[in-house]
Every structure is written in C-alpha cells, then in structure tokens.
Amino acid sequence: MTETRANYVNGEWVSSETGETIDVENPANPSEVVARYQQSSAADAAEAVDAAVDAQDDWATTPGPERGRILREAGTILQERKEELTDSLVAEEGKARPEAAGEVQRAIDIFHYFATKAADLGGTTKSPSGRRKNLYIRQEPVGVAALVTPWNYPIAIPVWKLAPALAAGNTVVLKPASQAPGVVLDVAEALDEAGLPDGVLNVVTGPGSTVGNEFIENEGTDAVSFTGSSHVGEMVYEQATDAGKRVQTELGGKNPTLVTDSADPAEAADIVATGAFGTTGQSCTGCSRAIVHEDVYDDFVAELVDRAESIDVGPGNDHEMGPQASESELEGTLDYIEIAKDEGATLAAGGGRPEGEAVEEGYYVEPTVFTDVESDMRIAQEEVFGPVVAVLKVSDFEEGLAVTNDVDYGLSASVVTDDHTEANRFVDEAEAGVVKVNEKTTGLELHVPFGGFKRSSSETWREQGDAGLDFYTIEKTVYDNY
C-alpha cells in the first residue's frame, strides 16, 4: 500500500484541510507511485506561518551552542539513515545512486558545518571614541524565513537554506518541490527527533501557486529564499520585494566551458562530459555550452561524442545516468533537440530516447551533443535542463571570452587551459558568480559563497558559508555609555 505522508506544522504531523493528495511517481517507472503527499491550501500555509511566528522569540533567544547541538544531532540522525534517504532520492527524483548518496552526504555535512557556526554567531566589538563606553554590533535573526526549494537537489538545496536559517535563530516555513518532497519531510523528522522546538520548522507540501504564494505574501514572513527557474524566480523577487521582504533568489544558468588551444582535448572532454551529463543534466550549474578553439575542435568533439555514447543510461540504482525527473522535463529536452536541428546545428551524438528493456518505461533521453552551433541559436542561449551540450567553435581566446559572456545568464563558467595568463584573464572577465579553472562547472564547496550574475540570481545575497548566514541575520549597533 502506498504511504501517505503528512505536513509538519507546529511539531505535529497533520493532513491538509483540503483532504486531497499528490501522487509522486518513480521517473524510472512512472506506473509506480512512490508516495502520496498533502495537496495543501493557502490556509494550511498560513497556519504554518502562524506557528513559526509564535515560536520565533523563544528560538531567537535560544543560545547559539544549543541551536548548534540540535543541528549536529539532526545531521547525525541523517547519517544513520543515509541508505534510506538515498533510496528515496533515487525513487522520487531518479538520480543515479552514487549521485544521490553524494547529495545526502552533502546535506549531512551542511548540518554539521552550520552546527559549528551557530556557536560563533553573536557579533563584533569595536573601540569607541570616548572613555567608559562600549561599542559593539549584535547579529540578530531576521525573523521568519520562507524557503521555496526545487526538485533537482531535493535534500541538499533545502538544507543549505534551512541550516543557516536555524543556526542564526530564525524560524522557518518550507515548501519543497512537489516532484520530490519526501527527503525534506525526512529532514523534518530528524530535526524533530533531535529536539527542535515546536513551530521552529514547518514543512507544507503543495502547489507553488497556493502554498508558495501564501508564504511569500503572508505578513508573518520576513525573508524569502527561492531556487528555481529564472522566469518564476523573477516573479517571486518582484512579489516578495513588493511585500517588503528580504529576498534571495538563485535561478537558471547557461554555463560554458571554454576550451583553449593549449588544452588537452581528452582532458577537456572529460571535464565537459562530467559537467554536462552528470545528474542527467538537471543541474543549474551544468555545462550546456562547450566553447572550443578551432585548433582542438575536431579532436575535442570526437572525444566528447565518445564519452556521450559510452554512458550507461537506465534506472538510477544500477546505471550511470538515470531518467529525467518528469515527463514534462523529458518533453522539454526533446523539444530543444528538435529546435536545435531546425536551427541548423549538427546532431553529433544522442538526440532521442534510448532503446532497451531497462529504459522502456521511464523518462529517459540519450546524452546529446550538437556541433556547428552559433551563439545566437536558442540551443546556445536558453536553459535546456537536460543532458544536452552545444559545441561552439571560436578562432581565438578573445572570441571565446566574448561567446562565454554572450548570454543572459551568469551562474558558473569554467576554462580548460595550460596558459596561466588565459586562466587569469578568464577569472577576471567571465561574467559568472562561480568561475573555475581546469574543472567542471558543477560541484560546490559548502563553505564559500554561491550565487550568480545577471538572470542567474537576484544579485542580493549569496548562499552557503558565512555569506549564507548573512542573509538570515540583521545587525544592531549598540552604544553603551556606562
């Protein structure tokens, strides 16, 4: 019998007042319903906000080391349940098992990192200009944080928003993506068992148009953090700022890897393939453009095509690349493949549904490579969010830099080169919030800032590391004349 899971509000597991549920299917086998979740209403979301507001003062005055102890214990509980959480990720989101396990470990590590940070929060002391005075800055929580999170990293992204929010003393309302909400509820269970007070975290499943909208507009929330598409994120930003909220958005990308004439084509192909085809291309930092110097272009394409064609596609538990997360995601990728063909790009690898018994039922697509791509084509300008990479030929490093920046996005960018000057110029001139040298565009350290430029971000607040705490704290300056 399929499990029906409840919302987590004010320390209790509760059903929606609608009485309706959402079925989540296994993208590797859509006839299998993995679990049912609450199809919540705006009233359910408002109840969660009320709980967070009521709990805020007590949580804000809880000592930082105690908040950190709870986060650390939650991380330990997740570590004990890592296999179970990995199973859930594979079943709901479709990730290949090693990728799913890595994402779960990332969430565990984030909890432990911010558990330590919680004890260090407080503020700084400055020297006053007069005698018998104290001058210091206090860091205080913003209040109630509303988190709206995506399906492509359904445990890592919620946790990298949630952990700093809780560490800083904020209470939280969280709407996970409807395609893969199970692991967020598992996180709520772990925090509950770790001793998180009632109302400090509230998780409500359901549509963004009702639950998310209520979280953003409700006068009880003080800050909004959203990760998702640029189109939706820009609407969220406008909506949240109109409501007077502090807001942070991390959005889409059209991430390039520039391959210079000094690069080894095989090494460059490894870097691009890993960035483009990992997580089935469903990463906001995934490489979707390879910008390649004409002197190494042919060798690079041959190497990249070889890697694309060698990837083992099938169910995530025992294959290298899993399905796309939903039928709509698959259809979107296939549509872009047809658009690229119509624009005149050359299909060099993939381009369709794979064949075989293991992939008959799921939302599978072949790793796909297009060559002869021009920078003004839609395949080179618009986010595909599937395992599709466009290869563009350039005549020199200057042209490569120009093509690198010739998009509306600026999330992640990398260069493959043996020339130190080129590497430094790329770091200086690439219009991206994350820049890498001789590395794939994907993969992030948890203790440094993450965020994009242009349409990849609101460019307001960064996530992760100390920058992640900045969003969830506000400074109070104290002048104490004793």
pLDDT at 22: 96
pLDDT of 365 strictly over 90: yes
The pTM of this model reads 0.96
Closest C-alpha among 378, 370, 374, 368 to residue 399:
374
DSSP 294: T
- Mean pLDDT of the 234-258 span: 96
pLDDT class of 266 with cuts at 50, 70, 90? very high
Q: Is 287 a catalytic residue?
A: no
pLDDT at 171: 98
- Mean pLDDT of the 215-244 span: 96
pLDDT of 1 strictly over 80: no
pLDDT at 160: 97
pLDDT digit string (tens) for 81-133? 999 999 999 999 999 999 999 999 999 999 999 999 999 898 899 999 999 99
DSSP 377: S
CATH, domain range 7-251+458-481 = 3.40.605.10
pLDDT class of 134 with cuts at 50, 70, 90? very high
Q: Are 142 and 169 in contact (CB under 8 A)?
A: no
Per DSSP, what are the bridge partners of residue 250?
227, 457
pLDDT digit string (tens) for 412-423? 999 999 999 999
Q: Are 233 and 284 in contact (CB under 8 A)?
A: no
d(C-alpha 255, C-alpha 382), whole Å: 10
- Mean pLDDT of the 253-282 span: 98
Q: Are 391 and 369 in contact (CB under 8 A)?
A: yes
DSSP per-residue codes, 317-345: TTSSB---SSHHHHHHHHHHHHHHHHHT-
Please pick, among 284, 301, 379, 403, the residue that the annotation labels catalytic: 284
Where in the chain do CATH 3.40.309.10 domains reside?
A: 255-437
pLDDT of 253 strictly over 90: yes
Tell me, which fold does domain 255-437 have in CATH?
Aldehyde Dehydrogenase; Chain A, domain 2 (3.40.309)
Percent of the chain with pLDDT over 90: 99
d(C-alpha 371, C-alpha 302), whole Å: 11
- Mean pLDDT of the 49-74 span: 98
pLDDT class of 279 with cuts at 50, 70, 90? very high
Q: Are 437 and 423 in contact (CB under 8 A)?
A: yes
- Mean pLDDT of the 242-257 span: 96
d(C-alpha 405, C-alpha 372), whole Å: 19
Region at 157 (left for phi over 0; alpha for psi -120 to 50; beta for the rest): alpha
- Mean pLDDT of the 429-433 span: 98
Computed over every residue of the chain, the mean pLDDT equals: 97
Region at 11 (left for phi over 0; alpha for psi -120 to 50; beta for the rest): left
Q: Are 157 and 147 in contact (CB under 8 A)?
A: no
- Mean pLDDT of the 28-41 span: 97
pLDDT of 411 strictly over 80: yes
pLDDT at 226: 98
Where in the chain do CATH 3.40.605.10 domains reside?
A: 7-251+458-481
The tokens describing 329, both together, are: 């995601």
pLDDT class of 257 with cuts at 50, 70, 90? very high
